[in-house]
Structure 1
Amino acid sequence: MKPSIIINKLKKTLIYSIWLVLWQIAYLCIDKEVLIPSPMHTFTKLLEMLTTTVFYLQIAGTFYRVFMGIGSSLILGIVSAYLAYKSLFFRTFINPMVNFMKSTPVMAIIILALLWFKSEEVPIFVCFLMCYPLIYTNILNGLLELSQELKELSKVYEVKAFYYIKECVLPQLRPYLRTAMQLVVGMAFKVVIAAEVLAIPKYAMGYELLDAKIYLETTEVFAWIIVIILLSQFCEYIVDLLFKERRQV
């Protein structure tokens, strides 16, 4: 292992250790478990949660909603970005809707979704509305930045559409798509869990947070927050890994 990698890992370990110490100090100063639990109690609670079947069902339920929300926004975002790239009228037509999605507070969308959909569908719908503008905007910007010279050359030499897309379009769009996915994955978990808190669907991490808050189980709230952060970071790592693999091909 390279010395630089070892040094970076040591730095990260030191930083996390400092934050744990600060957390412990805050716990000792406040001295109220209902406000800030100790790190030891929190990690003990987390270990208890890991031994229950319902813990994994809650994670699976939230993961499903995140996946559906991101998947639908990715498909429709790419399709609509292409249509907007090809048609100025369509781009002008869709802009008000995109601006509405960007500007409307998340809580307002959740409240509207609660009126329109079943509890199981609310987090997916809210996730879609929050993720779609990011994907649409990034893909459209990437398409608008496509090299016109390559496009003209492909016409002159009668390059097949499949090879033009594979060799010219996708490499130029990849950085824009990667940026969009990095932003979307982190935000999707926050949005879905916020919607789950209000919609209370079956098997949801958001519901567990609400339930722990109602019974003043602050230790469990902190434990779930740690789980959510770790899962979000893991998904962002997977996104980075997928794009790195594609660059190497």
Structure 2
Amino acid sequence: MKAKARRFGIFVGVLLFWLGVWTLLSVWGGQELLLPSPGAVAAHLWRLCRTSVFWSNVLASLVRVLLGFLSAAVAGTLLAMLTTRFTLAHHLFSPVLHIVRAAPVASFILLAYFWVRLQLLPSFIAFLMVLPLMWANVCQGIEHTDPSLLEMAKVFRFGRWRTLREVRLPSVLPYFEAACTTGLGFAWKSGVAAEVICSPPFSVGKEMLSAKQYLETAEVFAWTVAVVLLSVCMEMTVKTVIRRRKGGRA
């Protein structure tokens, strides 16, 4: 309990410190157009939250990002199982996934603009950006499974399902959790970037672009804060679900 209170106190202290730095920079700059104050951003965010348009845009973007992220989680896990089991599959897919991980996200957005329907493009980009991360982490989890535990499972004739549930999954889950928490941030960044460029209807990215065109810097910041809060909430939800699953198996 004390450790939690201490962590919370540190979090609040760090948050207040950076809000203070932001406020000072805004005051010294003297121009809300360049760097609006935290108060101005909070006021814009509050005003946005009171409109139905805000929630429609947030919900649409949330669905797109979740679709891309969940698809990447499933595909990345299946690919990891395939490439760790079959050498040929590893040689076939590994170079492609490394290229996808290294290439700039803007390149994929511009290319996919010609291939994918406008509404699905942000989901497709989020999928592409998260897939290599999921694949690499799950591969590490599979490869780092303790051989002695696998040997024990074989000796005691656990069977495939019990070996998967009691040996392989506990080894892979920490890597999968790390991929999920990092991947959610990737999914939001790449998904919203795709929305900014392709501007599908009912999207956070389109609203950010519109605010930028009208020089509403505080509104751009407000939408950014909304995306960050959504990403953090989703990350906490995923962590909670995974940890409860761990507890349930224990």
Same-fold call, TM cutoff 0.5: yes
Aligned to 1:72: 71
Q: CA deviation at 1:136?
A: 0.7
Equivalent-residue separation in structure 2 for 1:14 and 1:155 (angstroms): 52
Equivalent-residue separation in structure 1 for 2:155 and 2:26 (angstroms): 70
Equivalent-residue separation in structure 2 for 1:83 and 1:187 (angstroms): 24
Does 2:167 align with 1:168? yes
Equivalent-residue separation in structure 2 for 1:141 and 1:38 (angstroms): 44
1:189 is aligned with what amino acid?
Answer: W
Q: CA deviation at 1:151?
A: 2.8
Equivalent-residue separation in structure 2 for 1:230 and 1:71 (angstroms): 19
Does 2:39 align with 1:37? no
Per-residue CA deviation, residues 181-230 of structure 1 (Å, 9 max, x unaligned), is: 11101111001000000111121111111010000011111111111111
Aligned to 1:201: 200
Equivalent-residue separation in structure 1 for 2:165 and 2:26 (angstroms): 55
For the Cα contact (< 8 Å) 1:73–1:129, is it kept in 2? yes
Equivalent-residue separation in structure 1 for 2:73 and 2:88 (angstroms): 22
Q: CA deviation at 1:121?
A: 1.5
- SS of structure 1 residue aligned to 2:201: coil
Aligned to 1:54: 53
Q: CA deviation at 1:164?
A: 1.3
Gaps of 5+ in 2: none
Aligned to 2:6: 7
Q: CA deviation at 1:166?
A: 0.8
Q: CA deviation at 1:58?
A: 0.8
Q: CA deviation at 1:11?
A: 2.7
Aligned to 1:104: 103
Moved more, 237-246 or 192-201: 237-246
Moved more, 166-175 or 238-247: 238-247
Moved more, 160-169 or 195-204: 160-169
2:149 is aligned with what amino acid?
Answer: L
- SS of structure 1 residue aligned to 2:114: helix
For the Cα contact (< 8 Å) 1:120–1:199, is it kept in 2? no
Aligned to 1:178: 177
For the Cα contact (< 8 Å) 1:69–1:127, is it kept in 2? yes
- SS of structure 2 residue aligned to 1:23: helix
Q: CA deviation at 1:152?
A: 3.3
**Aligned pairs, how many?**
248
Equivalent-residue separation in structure 1 for 2:4 and 2:81 (angstroms): 41
Q: CA deviation at 1:39?
A: 1.8
- What is the RMSD of the two structures over their aligned residues, measured on CA atoms? 1.5
Per-residue CA deviation, residues 119-177 of structure 1 (Å, 9 max, x unaligned), is: 11111111111100011111112112223333333334332222111111111111111
Aligned to 2:220: 221
Equivalent-residue separation in structure 1 for 2:3 and 2:71 (angstroms): 40
Gaps of 5+ in 1: none
Equivalent-residue separation in structure 2 for 1:174 and 1:246 (angstroms): 10
Equivalent-residue separation in structure 2 for 1:73 and 1:181 (angstroms): 10
Q: Call closer, same or farther: CA 1:136–1:3 in 2, change over 3 Å.
A: closer
Q: CA deviation at 1:243?
A: 2.3
Q: Call closer, same or farther: CA 1:74–1:7 in 2, change over 3 Å.
A: closer
Identity, % of aligned positions: 29
Aligned to 1:147: 146
Moved more, 102-111 or 21-30: 21-30
